[in-house]
Amino acid sequence: MDGLRWLLLFFGILVIAGIYLYSRREKTKTDKGAEEFERVEPTLQGRKDPDSDDGTPVQSPGFSVAEEPAEAEGEVAPDSTAETPQQKIVTLRIVARDKKDFKGDELILSMRGIGLRHGKFGIFHRYDGNDESRTIFSAASLVEPGSFDLANIKDQRIPGISLFLVLPGPVDSVEGFDLMMAAARALSQTLDGELLDESGSTLSIQRERYLREEIIQFQHSNMVA
């Protein structure tokens, strides 16, 4: 009988010790979770300044998940899974022969002569009609930052220009490419310059056909998407 009593007493002590240890462990986990929650601080998240020409990220205050303001009643949250249209940039170059330079005023007159107009970012654009929000393609100087200083253009010597087409644009993609090609040929003839592709190689007929085929495939993939 005494042995049974000691055995029960032993098991009782074990149960009490187990309850004590379990309660201590739960309290430690609770305290740790509260401490981690208290450490949550507002974060700074990078965003692109819409008014910045080069898209340089700037810092703006953001909020952590715990501090994010609740959505207004009836407000629809943006669909984060929505796909944005793909973009493609096609680039050509026109450079002066024999590593020489174009005269600034002659270059500007040539671009204006084929319908390019000086506009946003200080470069030239071909617009769809008179709507300056509908840019088909653009022309920038190969001299950084790419803009043209019209006030001092007579004193400038420019080694070349870059023509670039951003797709999809305001007109059919292949039509936009053909318009840029026509402008590039006209300028290279007027200025007696060399017409090159984006890598600086002479633009051959085969390369032009390849670029057009790439644009057709790009246009088709965007239509399917």
CATH number of the CATH domain containing 172: 3.30.1400.10
197 found inside a domain: yes
Could you tell me if residue 183 is inside a domain? yes
- For residue 201, pLDDT over 70 is answered with yes
- 87 or 77, which is more confident: 87
Residue 129 DSSP class:
T
DSSP 106: H
In a domain, residue 139? The reply is yes
25 found inside a domain: no
Q: What is the pLDDT of residues 85-106, one digit of tens each?
A: 689 999 999 999 998 999 999 9
pLDDT tier, 223 (very low <50, low <70, confident <90, very high otherwise): confident
Whether the pTM exceeds 0.75: the reply is no
Residues 32 and 42: their CA atoms lie apart, in Å, by: 20
Domain-embedded: residue 167:
yes
Domain span at residue 210?
Answer: 88-224
Q: Is the pLDDT of residue 80 over 60?
A: no
Domains held by the chain: number: 1
Q: For residue 14, tell me if it sits in a domain.
A: no
pLDDT mean over 142-159: 94
Specify the 3-state DSSP secondary structure of 193. strand
